[in-house]
Structure 1
Amino acid sequence: MERPWLSHYEEGVPHEFTPTNDTLPDLLRRTAEQYPDRTALTFLGAKTTYRVLWQQALSFAAALQKIGVQPGERVSLMLPNCPQFVVGFYGALLAGATVVNTSPLYTPHELQHQLQDSGSETLILLDAFYPRYEEIAGTVPVQRVIVTGIQDALPFPKNVLYPLKARREGTWVGVKAGGSVYSMTQLVRQDGTPEPVVLRPDDVALLQYTGGTTGVPKGAMLTHRNLVANAEQARAWMTDLKDGQEVTLAAIPFFHVYGMTVAMNLSLLIGATIVLVPNARDIKMVLGQIDASGATLFPGVPTLYNAINHHPDTPKHDLTTIRACISGSAPLLLETARQFRQITGGANLVEGYGLTEASPITHTNPIFGDQREGSIGLPFPGVDAVVMGEDGQPVPTGEVGELWVSGPMVMKGYYNRPDETAKVLREWQGQTWLLTGDMAVMDDDGYFRIVDRKKDLIIAGGFNVYPREVEEVLTMHPAVLEAAAVGVPDEYRGESVHAVVVLKPGQQATEADIIAHCRRELSAYKAPRSVEFRAELPKTAVGKVLRRQLADEARAARQQPA
């Protein structure tokens, strides 16, 4: 097939790409051998070298095996960006387990679904999240819970002061180890070497949950090869990276596959120091960490860059060490990029594109070359991309069709969902292709532009919100007959959720009632921020709700003068 994008690659970006046969633990082991005394992680003043990080991962893997974790079992990780996440992730893989990324934002209802669907028998979580698990304990397959706290990773005297502060603020959650509850700190301290487990590149390393194009939460099976390949592709794209010298500001969460690949795995691949930020919404902390660490790489989402652009403390900090930023998870506004480059003295902030099922990056603009506004850029090395028509054949250059991608980063399939897998993976011309569900156009130079996102998908602050999930919760309200959820423009988040609700005859509910109900069942970013009541929802002849019409009407109403 023709690949016009190759002629627009920057100098040094390979035209041919073959991933290594490394597994994820190979990345950490090799870097620990090459840079044993380099700082791997910094966390609010605490530092961990690569030698120590590798040893902690080995010790934790051995401890997991001792308490009964078997190869192939699922280990759910419900942690913010902290040293324990990295140790837990790599330790679980070394023990032969499959990691299940679990959002710390999940409500008990959401957590219950994911633990049941994944069949997770082990849950590693922060002590502050334990009450949410307690609500559903006994209804999920979890056999052992491993608990850790922020204080466990802090240096003295912060590790002593943190619990005192939390108790004073009423946020302290004390969890005692015993029975099926274990202390992660105690497990890591049990020095040991795990029993050898044969890991193969095509083994599933991660279940990353996504609604895909249907909105039904399901686990994308990402193999070691998928995740290693995507980190290696990013390494090949960023030609000026200096092994053993970079400093990555890790504010985007590792439980999101974009953060995992670019902020964690790529950093470990090149021996970067990872500056862990547990709460990206704390912009003062983000600014302070960039300034103090001299961060050179800053992967993020548009909401984060925009927040920095407009924060009153930004002028007080030196952000000029930042050289490169790939923005993902949501469209990057041109003004956001312009302002950020100005604030940082010219940092290269470029827009990329990807999806969970592709581990996740497939396209991005050149870091130093021709960056085209409004474009998602060129396919990564090793990525084939084609714009397909309804007839399953490529459309002419410049015409709109569905974006298909192929390459070593494409998932194995959805966990226990062969029917859903068949809808998005297709063989064509001897390759396996992922149907993205996004409508795109390619120009003569091989630059791609998304003209319409996945049908009905809402992207709020960089997080995917699937209308069906919100609608299911809306209709759980006793007064609601039927409901639809759509995205409306939001200056800060890009989009926010707007609910259109039809009440049951004789029932009453206010906007505040509906929003409060949703906030009890959904993460904050998924809950509607506005509610509209109607007598009926517009539908097709076969009864399908016309979400696109509702979204257009909601957007138009917001543009009208009051």
Structure 2
Amino acid sequence: MEFNYADLFEGVADAIGDRVALVCGARRLTYAELDAQANRLAHHLESAGVKPGQHVAVQLYNGIEYAVALVAALKIRAVPVNVNYRYVESELRYVYQDSDSVALLYDVEFDERVAATVPQVESLRHLIAVGGASSVPGAVPYEEALAARPATRGFGPRSADDTYIIYTGGTTGMPKGVMWGMKELLFAFWNPSLPRPGVPEDVVEMARNAGPMVMMPVAPLMHGAAQVATFIAWWMGATVVYVRRFEAAEVWRTIEREKVNSLTITGDAMAIPMVEELERSPYDLSSLLAFVSTGAILSGSVRERLAVVLPNIMIMDRFGSTESGSTAEAVAGSTPEKGLRFAPDVADVTVLDDALQPVKPGSGVIGQVARTGFIARGYYNDPEKTARTFPEVDGRRWLLTGDIATVEEDGSIAVYGRGSQAINTGGEKVFPEEVEAVLKGHPAVFDAVVTGIPDERFGSRVAAVVQPQGEPPAPQDLDAHCRKNLSGYKVPRTYAFVKEMKRSPAGKADYRWAKETAQRSVER
């Protein structure tokens, strides 16, 4: 056995085959049943000519088939590639081509976009349609693909160096595929509350000996956080619960029905509608122990509302990225409004200054969060970005996350925001996350994204795109609210009100869209 996800899953399936591995709606599979389905799909992919190292695109909503596709690809040493199901034809063509995918699993709801795009991608030669009949020529129905192949294994040996790719980004440019080695991925995202395995068999024994646990990644599986959360749960021998698409009431109904113990969301974009649903309707959440946000930080006002509707439940913010893994946990009392502080999980996480040297704790020197050790290999098809983001310093390879920060005297890391999104207005830096958190604390604001737009005097001005709760508040009311909590130069000078905020399915802000929206409001 290797530190390889397919090896580990097969070992866990052999050890606890009768335990429920996966639930989505009325459907549930044991570990043995999931393994058998993945074997069938893996054999089908092999028969279609998919070879080790080749890429299999997955364009699906959350569900049994997504998990089967991930495991099946890994079993034959192929690489699953997550595709954003909201993408339009030009974006799909980019991901299909950039990833060099040779096969595609897609929900039939996406027939029209798939049919229009696939003929333009020479490498994409095999299609599997999920969820019913497809109008796309040549597509093989998912159930037919499985039925024609054996449920047994019979695959070749694998390696801890096999590749896993997670496409990420798209808030400021087209997404990039983050490449991981299997062992590095395992340890970078390892649950910090558990002992680290010395050999692969330790993972299997941990799953075998674990008590019953039900875990729910709420974000879409096309977001890396949900994929990683699924595997983490399986290494703990847990049952993983999905909802097909995010809808707050359905999430709470599922938690109530399946007795979920831990759920993982992505920031305020998911937390706010979930809080509002709990404020409207009661649910039996007696099984719930932990509410975790990862990939996006909860604002203080939302955390306070969560604490009211979820008393005695642990509410946690995790810090990390697709390139770095899960690296730190928010210090108690830390919020974007008051200042974010994180306690690193491992010594490999620090802050590097402009000379790429570690910042001395308590010095006040500003740098960016960096990690060494278990980090990604780089970006697929982008050696230039890989070189910039993963420099070698004194013989050690580092990841520069782009998060601007300093190190406090106690060793905690104070994070100000993402450097690429910082707004330089009159020589002062403004980090959008801080302003967004303050705006979302106003009772008339449902959501907010802050960006910079051109300004003749200051170079850039702070602009806010706001989705209101009901009628838009007066800009002067928002201005007064912000000035109570922020220095004057951080207060938005332009407001654009929208009926619906544009975010990714995982809740990530679309800063390109926000900048364009704010600029249009000025030009009117």
TM normalised by structure 1 equals 0.71
Q: Which residue number corresponds to residue 436 of structure 1? A: 401
Q: Which residue number corresponds to residue 70 of structure 1? A: 51
Give the secondary-structure state (helix, strand or coil) at the position aligned to 2:29.
strand
Q: CA deviation at 1:426?
A: 1.6
Aligned equivalents of 1:246, 1:37: Cα separation in 2: 14
Aligned equivalents of 2:160, 2:461: Cα separation in 1: 40
Moved over 6 A (4+): 457-461, 465-468, 484-487
Distance 1:246 1:312, change over 3 A: closer
Aligned equivalents of 1:437, 1:355: Cα separation in 2: 10
Q: CA deviation at 1:145?
A: 0.8
Q: Tell me if 1:530 matches 2:502.
A: no
| Structure 2 alignment gaps of length 5 or more | 197-205, 423-431, 438-446, 453-459, 470-495
**Residue identity matched to 1:124:** L
**Residue identity matched to 2:237:** G
**Residue identity matched to 2:126:** R
Deviations 1:207-263 (A, max 9, x none): 423359x7353211122123222343445289x99824110122111211111112x
Aligned equivalents of 1:66, 1:234: Cα separation in 2: 40
| More moved, 401-410 vs 69-78 | 401-410
Q: Which residue number corresponds to residue 488 of structure 1? A: 464
Q: Given that residues 450 and 465 in structure 2 are in contact (C-alpha distance below 8 angstroms), is that contact kept between their aligned partners in structure 1?
A: no
Q: Tell me if 1:59 matches 2:40.
A: yes
Q: Given that residues 468 and 499 in structure 2 are in contact (C-alpha distance below 8 angstroms), is that contact kept between their aligned partners in structure 1?
A: no
**Residue identity matched to 1:203:** D
Aligned equivalents of 1:467, 1:142: Cα separation in 2: 37
Q: Given that residues 450 and 463 in structure 2 are in contact (C-alpha distance below 8 angstroms), is that contact kept between their aligned partners in structure 1?
A: no
Aligned equivalents of 2:298, 2:84: Cα separation in 1: 24
Q: Which residue number corresponds to residue 377 of structure 1? A: 342
Q: Tell me if 1:327 matches 2:293.
A: yes
Q: Which residue number corresponds to residue 37 of structure 1? A: 18
Distance 1:24 1:220, change over 3 A: same
Q: Which residue number corresponds to residue 83 of structure 1? A: 64
Q: Which residue number corresponds to residue 423 of structure 1? A: 388
Q: CA deviation at 1:298?
A: 0.6
Aligned equivalents of 1:47, 1:252: Cα separation in 2: 19
Distance 1:279 1:492, change over 3 A: farther
Mapping of 1:491-506 within 5 angstroms?
A: none
Give the secondary-structure state (helix, strand or coil) at the position aligned to 1:197.
coil
Mapping of 1:17-28 within 5 angstroms?
A: 21-28=2-9
Q: Tell me if 1:306 matches 2:264.
A: no
Aligned equivalents of 1:142, 1:222: Cα separation in 2: 23
**Residue identity matched to 1:92:** A
Deviations 1:321-352 (A, max 9, x none): 22123212222112222322332222111111
Mapping of 1:251-330 within 5 angstroms?
A: 251-262=218-229, 264-280=230-246, 282-303=247-268, 304-311=270-277, 315-330=281-296
- Structure 2 residue aligned with 1:145, among 115, 127, 140? 127
Distance 1:535 1:117, change over 3 A: same
Q: Given that residues 220 and 356 in structure 1 are in contact (C-alpha distance below 8 angstroms), is that contact kept between their aligned partners in structure 2?
A: yes
Q: Which residue number corresponds to residue 355 of structure 2? A: 391
| More moved, 348-357 vs 384-393 | 384-393
Q: Which residue number corresponds to residue 413 of structure 2? A: 448
Q: Which residue number corresponds to residue 248 of structure 1? A: 215
Give the secondary-structure state (helix, strand or coil) at the position aligned to 1:255.
coil
Aligned equivalents of 2:468, 2:254: Cα separation in 1: 22
Q: Tell me if 1:222 matches 2:180.
A: yes
Q: CA deviation at 1:137?
A: 2.3
Aligned equivalents of 2:100, 2:144: Cα separation in 1: 26
Aligned equivalents of 1:103, 1:492: Cα separation in 2: 27
Aligned equivalents of 2:345, 2:188: Cα separation in 1: 9
Distance 1:534 1:127, change over 3 A: closer
Give the secondary-structure state (helix, strand or coil) at the position aligned to 1:106.
coil
Aligned equivalents of 2:314, 2:321: Cα separation in 1: 22
Q: Given that residues 425 and 435 in structure 1 are in contact (C-alpha distance below 8 angstroms), is that contact kept between their aligned partners in structure 2?
A: yes
**Residue identity matched to 1:356:** T
Give the secondary-structure state (helix, strand or coil) at the position aligned to 2:219.
coil
Distance 1:408 1:103, change over 3 A: farther
Aligned equivalents of 1:26, 1:326: Cα separation in 2: 28
Q: Identity rate of aligned residues, in percent?
A: 24
Give the secondary-structure state (helix, strand or coil) at the position aligned to 2:179.
strand
Give the secondary-structure state (helix, strand or coil) at the position aligned to 1:248.
strand
Distance 1:445 1:320, change over 3 A: farther
Give the secondary-structure state (helix, strand or coil) at the position aligned to 1:198.
coil
- Structure 2 residue aligned with 1:341, among 286, 304, 307? 307
Distance 1:485 1:294, change over 3 A: farther
Q: CA deviation at 1:414?
A: 0.9
Q: Which residue number corresponds to residue 500 of structure 1? A: none
Q: Given that residues 296 and 508 in structure 2 are in contact (C-alpha distance below 8 angstroms), is that contact kept between their aligned partners in structure 1?
A: no
Aligned equivalents of 1:25, 1:120: Cα separation in 2: 20
Aligned equivalents of 2:522, 2:312: Cα separation in 1: 53
Q: Given that residues 210 and 356 in structure 1 are in contact (C-alpha distance below 8 angstroms), is that contact kept between their aligned partners in structure 2?
A: no
Q: Given that residues 361 and 408 in structure 2 are in contact (C-alpha distance below 8 angstroms), is that contact kept between their aligned partners in structure 1?
A: yes
Q: Which residue number corresponds to residue 132 of structure 1? A: 113
Would you say how many aligned residue pairs link Structure 1 and Structure 2?
447
Q: Given that residues 78 and 102 in structure 1 are in contact (C-alpha distance below 8 angstroms), is that contact kept between their aligned partners in structure 2?
A: yes
**Residue identity matched to 1:532:** Q
Aligned equivalents of 1:186, 1:266: Cα separation in 2: 30
Aligned equivalents of 2:170, 2:231: Cα separation in 1: 24
| Structure 1 alignment gaps of length 5 or more | 1-19, 153-173, 469-483, 494-511, 537-562
Higher relative contact order (CA 8 A, sep 6+): 1
Mapping of 1:147-166 within 5 angstroms?
A: 147-149=129-131
**Residue identity matched to 1:247:** V
TM normalised by structure 2 equals 0.76
Q: Which residue number corresponds to residue 170 of structure 1? A: none
Q: CA deviation at 1:315?
A: 3.6
Q: Which residue number corresponds to residue 99 of structure 1? A: 80
Q: Given that residues 235 and 266 in structure 1 are in contact (C-alpha distance below 8 angstroms), is that contact kept between their aligned partners in structure 2?
A: no
